[in-house]
Amino acid sequence: MRSRAPLALMEQMVMLLVFALAAALCLQAFVRSEAMSRESEARDRAAVQCQNAAEAVRHAGGDLEKAAETLGIARDREEPALSAYYSGDWSPCGAQGWAYRLTVRPVESGVRGLGKASVRVSAADGSAVFELEIAWQEGDLDG
């Protein structure tokens, strides 16, 4: 009579291989979910920063100087846009070593009395994290 030990050993090796593959797939899903969570958090924070900047610009009637003052941002007057820099944990930082950049750029609307601007948060690699376009009514339309 032949021994069944080799068959049992093969069965155990196959089961070990199946469990190893399942563990590898679970680990990969766990790592991917962490990256997705970070991307989602960055997008949510970028959306809030864009909304804050959009409301400040609309409230200031498109005056980037006033909007910068409202947001507590030092504005470079030579640059036609408003920029703010944030570190990886979304705390304000200088123009060196930033992870995210908020930019508000005036856009030509093509309609008299309508002001427009583009509000964008981009990552350090230049990719857009969140962006929106805003519009507001400018001054007196009669004059």
Taking the complete model, does pTM exceed 0.85, yes or no?
no
Domain assignment of residue 115, given as a range: 5-137
**Number of domains composing the chain:** 1
Alpha-carbon separation of residue 103 from 74, 85, 109, 130 (angstroms) = 13, 9, 18, 11
Looking at residue 9, its pLDDT comes to 87
Query: For residue 70, is it within any domain?
Result: yes
Query: For residue 40, is it within any domain?
Result: yes
- pLDDT of 134 above 90: yes
Looking at residue 94, its pLDDT comes to 82
Query: For residue 143, is it within any domain?
Result: no
Query: For residue 31, is it within any domain?
Result: yes
Residue 111 and residue 138: Cα distance in Å, rounded?
Answer: 10
Residue 99 and residue 114: Cα distance in Å, rounded?
Answer: 33
Query: For residue 142, is it within any domain?
Result: no
Residue 16 and residue 32: Cα distance in Å, rounded?
Answer: 24
Report the pLDDT averaged over residues 75-79.
74
